[in-house]
Chains A and B, each alone.
Chain A
Amino acid sequence: MAETAHAPGTSPSETARPVPFRGGGFAPRPRKWVGLAVFVALIALAEWGTRAGWISALTLPRPSDVLETFVQLYESGLLFRHLVPSLTRLIVGAAIGVGIGISLGILIGLFSHVRAGLVPLVAAIFPIPKIALLPLFVIWFGIDEASKYALIAFGTFTPMVVATYGAVDNVDRTLIRMGQSFGLSWVSIVRKIVLPGAMPGILSGLRISLAIAIILLVAAEMLGASHGIGAYILEAGSLYDLERLFAGVVILSVLGVTVSAGIGLVERRLLAWRS
């Protein structure tokens, strides 16, 4: 940069000045260790503060104690007694909600009558706080697993529908017109143009829906669950046991990161056609 601006002996107006490439944009580049360093710094700060005493035991648990609690949880085998029911609820509930959500979303995107009939309904049930319906679900589906599946399914369904029909709407019109001009059948257009074109939007909707499913897991386990990560967190909260509370919260966070990474993998596979 410095030499191009002031090349010695020549006046700037006479020589062709090489222009540096300035269109690099703000493209984020991978910096693998920065994210980890932020975590480590925050945890180290909390550890130092709780040890030195300027963070009281009431405000924050000591990170090393949380780790110890987690190790105990693992060694006693309780971790899996909590994880297995929670993961089952998450998988079954989210599978039902996401499955119905994507199917209905595609139907809304493709058929005007379905759109006219269902979009207002979806808009009406979207803002209902699903947790408020929990007591009702208990009456409808019983206090055992079914009501928990229903809550998670209901909570993931609405964002999934909205994301899916939005994604179908955003498929490039010119591609569809091209397909029609070339005489492709309706089924071919849907299968080869609409669905792949809607896939990025559907997958980003899935990311949001699954995060909501994890949030709702805690709510679903409020009623009548004696095992599960959500039940574990609620119990720790009512016992004011901060170490267990944070151990549970960390499990949920790890679950969130895992799900997000999983969707990242699926995206790379399904959306390979984009690059």
Chain B
Amino acid sequence: MITLNRRKALALMGGTAAASLASPALAMNKPIKVGALRFTSHAGSFVAYERGYFAEAGLDVEFEFFEAAQPMAVAIASGDLDYAVTAISGGLISLAQKGAIKVIGGGLSEEPGIDGQKFLVSDAAFQAGVKTPADLGGKTFGISTAGSSFHYMGAKMAAAEGISLDYKPLQKVGAIIGALKSGQIDGWVIVPHIAKPLAGSGAVHIVGDVSTYLPSYQVTTLFTSARNAAEERALTESFLAGYSKGAADYNAAMIARAGGEDGVNAMVDLIHKYVNADQPREKAAASIINGTMRLNEGAALNVASVRDQLDWFQSEGLVDAGITLDMLLDTSYVQTMDS
């Protein structure tokens, strides 16, 4: 504990004031709320916060944690959150159509060569001969809700294999895991940090990769309210700047392994504060390392993948056919790919 007398305290206050005046931040310690799930796919925000990149960008970030992507989109629309990261869902597109939210950048991407999301089958189905995703034809396939990313991935795989799936909406990831383990449903698709431990327990089996069917799938995106995107340009740029540094650190440590084993360990320690925090470090570390996927550098956005997702949602009648890509995206902030 440092003891301060009055003079020291005054000097310290003066010093802090001088230091903060000197920094060229666009917005001075502006308090913003960022929505996140306790998934490694949200590591960009966690790293940016822990390593002070948000503070450097002049933002005083407060995290709000959610259990599912859908309430997060609604929280942005209601103005309770400023920025969030989540998968593109039918709900997100509908909210964009109502003029409430805009996608401003890319989060997580599938990339061939990097272990991505996995197709899983139950042990019962596996024993009955379901050894590849193509064998799931006519079988039950777990999804959270119609129009979720699970539904999209399942449908794209089914279309590519020329099979049809019997979708079972089960609302929550926990319910799907329970149903899959007990053999109530046959197949599912999920991020690697959940897929691998499940497969390790022997109750389910990994039978394929999402990247086989969707090679550069834009899994998650950064989004904000339409008002922030249009009117708070400086604030949004500051957020993206802070987030991008976090994402770059994460990619460097976990994918390029620039810092070697130490770099990975430091990153795992940082993420462990947010993800699987209730588990001991060794157990959590395995899951966090298993969950490693590419975060888009500079929050670049794969517009071609977003267009494909929007087209699919419209072809299924899940969202209004009149929605255009412009309603959903604000591409003025980040680099775009394949557009």
Instruction: Give A234's nearest chain B residue, CB to CB.
Output: B145
Shortest B250–chain A CB gap in Å is: 29
- Of the residues A139, A222, A231, A240, contact of B95 by C-beta under 8 Å: A240
A residues near B91, Cβ cutoff 8 Å:
238-240
B146 CB within 8 Å of chain A: yes
| Chain A 233-275 interface mask (CB, 8 Å, partner B; 1/0) | 0110011110000000000000000000000000000000000
- Of the residues A56, A224, A238, contact of B146 by C-beta under 8 Å: A238
Whether A58 lies near B147 (C-beta < 8 A) is no
- Of the residues A58, A224, A225, A235, contact of B98 by C-beta under 8 Å: A58
B164-185 residues at the A interface, CB under 8 angstroms = 166-171, 174-175, 178-179, 182, 184-185
A residues near B276, Cβ cutoff 8 Å:
none
If A57-B98, A57-B99, A225-B169 touch, does A239 touch B146 (CB 8 Å cutoff)?
Answer: yes
Whether B178 lies near A235 (C-beta < 8 A) is no
Whether A238 lies near B184 (C-beta < 8 A) is no
Interface residue tally on B, bucketed by range: 20 to 34
Shortest B30–chain A CB gap in Å is: 25
A residues near B178, Cβ cutoff 8 Å:
135, 138-139
B residues near A138, Cβ cutoff 8 Å:
175, 178-179, 182, 184
Whether A240 lies near B169 (C-beta < 8 A) is no
Whether B171 lies near A143 (C-beta < 8 A) is no
Interface residue tally on A, bucketed by range: 20 to 34
Whether B179 lies near A143 (C-beta < 8 A) is yes
- Of the residues B70, B169, B318, B319, contact of A224 by C-beta under 8 Å: B169
Q: Which of A58, A139, A223, A235 lies at the interface centre, i.e. has the most chain B CB atoms within 10 A of its CB?
A: A223
Whether A222 lies near B171 (C-beta < 8 A) is yes
B237-263 residues at the A interface, CB under 8 angstroms = none
A residues near B145, Cβ cutoff 8 Å:
234-235, 238-239
Measured CA separation A241–B145 after assembly (Å):
13
Measured CA separation A135–B185 after assembly (Å):
13
A42-71 residues at the B interface, CB under 8 angstroms = 56-58
B79-121 residues at the A interface, CB under 8 angstroms = 89-91, 94-95, 98-100
A residues near B182, Cβ cutoff 8 Å:
138-139
A142 CB within 8 Å of chain B: yes
Shortest A266–chain B CB gap in Å is: 36
If A235-B147, A238-B91, A240-B94 touch, does A226 touch B169 (CB 8 Å cutoff)?
Answer: yes
| Chain B 139-154 interface mask (CB, 8 Å, partner A; 1/0) | 0100011111000000
Measured CA separation A56–B90 after assembly (Å):
20
B73 CB within 8 Å of chain A: yes
Measured CA separation A239–B143 after assembly (Å):
14
Shortest A145–chain B CB gap in Å is: 13
A residues near B99, Cβ cutoff 8 Å:
57
B residues near A223, Cβ cutoff 8 Å:
168-171, 175, 179
- Of the residues A57, A58, A142, A235, contact of B169 by C-beta under 8 Å: A235
Measured CA separation A142–B77 after assembly (Å):
38
B28 CB within 8 Å of chain A: no
Instruction: Give B68's nearest chain A residue, CB to CB.
Output: A238
B32 CB within 8 Å of chain A: no
If A235-B145, A238-B70 touch, does A143 touch B184 (CB 8 Å cutoff)?
Answer: yes
A residues near B74, Cβ cutoff 8 Å:
240
B residues near A58, Cβ cutoff 8 Å:
77-78, 95, 98, 100
Whether B89 lies near A238 (C-beta < 8 A) is yes
If A138-B178, A239-B318, A239-B319 touch, does A234 touch B169 (CB 8 Å cutoff)?
Answer: yes
Whether B169 lies near A231 (C-beta < 8 A) is yes
Measured CA separation A120–B178 after assembly (Å):
32
Shortest B149–chain A CB gap in Å is: 12
A residues near B175, Cβ cutoff 8 Å:
135, 138, 223
Instruction: Give B145's nearest chain A residue, CB to CB.
Output: A238
A residues near B170, Cβ cutoff 8 Å:
222-224
Measured CA separation A230–B254 after assembly (Å):
43
Shortest Cβ-Cβ A-B pairs, 8 listed:
A238-B145, A239-B90, A240-B94, A240-B91, A143-B184, A224-B168, A235-B146, A57-B98
21 chain-A/chain-B pairs, Cβ below 8 angstroms: A58-B77, A138-B179, A138-B184, A139-B182, A143-B140, A223-B171, A223-B179, A224-B184, A225-B169, A226-B169, A231-B169, A235-B145, A235-B169, A238-B146, A239-B90, A240-B74, A240-B91, A240-B94, A240-B95, A240-B98, A241-B94
Knowing that A138-B178, A138-B179, A142-B184 are A-B contacts, what are 19 other residue pairs whose CB atoms are under 8 Å apart, sorted by A's residue number? A57-B98, A57-B99, A139-B184, A143-B184, A223-B168, A224-B170, A224-B185, A226-B168, A234-B145, A234-B169, A235-B145, A235-B169, A238-B89, A238-B91, A239-B319, A240-B74, A240-B90, A240-B95, A240-B98
* Chain A contacts to B: CB under 8 angstroms: 56-58, 135, 138-139, 142-143, 222-226, 231, 234-235, 238-241
